[in-house]
Amino acid sequence: MSDLIEGYLGKTVERKKSRVPAKLDYIQSATGLILGLFMWGHMLLVSSILLGEDVMYTVTKLLEASFIIDGGSPILVSIAALVIFIIFITHAAMGMRKLPGSFKQYQVMKAHANNMGHEDTKLWFTQAFTGFAMFFLGSIHLYIIMTNSDAIGPYASSDRIWSEWMWPLYILLLLAVEFHGTIGLYRLAVKWGWFDGDDPKAARAKLKTWKKILTYFFLILGFLTLAAYMKIGMDNAAAGKVGERYQPSAQVIEYKINSGRVA
């Protein structure tokens, strides 16, 4: 009954407003923080290809827990991707509440933001646009990774990116995720006052500088990484080696020693 009254009047019988929106805001912040920090780690791991194919291979095997399971187990990566997928969808659902529901609402919000001339308010539009794009692009990536976790590695990833046409999607996803992630973490820090100290205004200026540095850093790292995978994928395609799995240098040398070809 009280739900019914609140549904019509927007207030409970005790004349209180629901706490649900505040709780949903909290869930949005918490899932955003997890995803933002996860993406920094993810980009550093994926960029291991820049240090060489052997390094990326080692990182992949470590994430498959090869130190306890002989040869590693890709199912662990599928489980991690599923957990991230659930957090990702929860975060998107919480974000959707804030999107304008009609063109009229959009016009009102736009006019309000322009009228205020407040940079941080305008950032909201970037968040809404990149978030919307990520919902589609990120879902495709996560589903493919979740169902093909045994095909991650220096050659398998490069073939997916080049020969299976993932590179256009990754360009768009990379742009969306880097802007969305750093703006999101900046807005979280401002909203909850994590680094305010004695002078919140000065803290905000510093956070803005960090936002810029981190956006550039991860964008440059991301595009260099993508270029490295594309180059390997192109070379594999030219050599007719698409679908072949990478053999770490140590194993190749061992094989050659055993077959008596290398002393």
Residues in CB range of 248: below 8 A, 6 or more apart:
54, 57, 58
Residue 72 lies near ligand HEM (rule: CB under 6 A)? no
Residue 184 lies near ligand HEM (rule: CB under 6 A)? no
- H-state helical runs in the chain: 2-9, 20-46, 53-63, 75-96, 103-116, 119-147, 154-162, 167-192, 200-238, 249-258
Q: Around Cβ 207, how many Cβ atoms within 10 Å?
A: 19
Residues 151/157/161/164 CA torsion (nearest 10 deg)? -30
Judged by CB under 6 A, the residue of 59, 134, 189, 207 near ligand HEM is 134
**Spatial separation of the C-alpha atoms in residues 96 and 19, rounded to whole Å:** 18
Residue 152 lies near ligand HEM (rule: CB under 6 A)? yes
Judged by CB under 6 A, the residue of 32, 59, 81, 159 near ligand HEM is 81
**Helix pair 119-147, 75-96: axis angle to 10 deg:** 150
The interface region with ligand HEM, picked from 13-21, 94-102, 116-124, 135-143 by CB under 6 A, is 135-143
Per-residue x/- track, 154-183, ligand HEM (CB under 6 A): ---x--xx----x---x--xx--x------
What is the DSSP code string of 151-170?
S-SHHHHHHHHHTT--HHHH
The interface region with ligand HEM, picked from 110-118, 119-127, 204-212, 218-226 by CB under 6 A, is 218-226
Closest CA to 138 of 117, 166, 102, 116: 166
- Tell the smallest beta-carbon distance from residue 156 to ligand HEM (Å): 7
Dihedral pair phi/psi, residue 196, rounded to 5°: -60, -40
SS3 5: helix
Judged by CB under 6 A, the residue of 32, 46, 128, 182 near ligand HEM is 46
Per-residue x/- track, 220-239, ligand HEM (CB under 6 A): --x--xx--x----------
Task: Give the tokens for residue 51.
Answer: 């240090």
Closer CB to ligand HEM, 102 or 216, in the complex: 216
**Spatial separation of the C-alpha atoms in residues 170 and 161, rounded to whole Å:** 8
Residue 84 lies near ligand HEM (rule: CB under 6 A)? yes
Closer CB to ligand HEM, 23 or 42, in the complex: 42
Residue 33 lies near ligand HEM (rule: CB under 6 A)? no
The interface region with ligand HEM, picked from 91-99, 123-131, 153-161, 232-240 by CB under 6 A, is 153-161
User: Do 13 and 5 contact (CB within 8 A), yes or no?
Assistant: yes
Judged by CB under 6 A, the residue of 24, 30, 76, 80 near ligand HEM is 80
| Residues contributing to the site for ligand HEM (CB under 6 A) | 42, 46, 77, 80-81, 84, 88, 134, 138, 141-142, 145, 152, 157, 160-161, 166, 170, 173-174, 177, 222, 225-226, 229
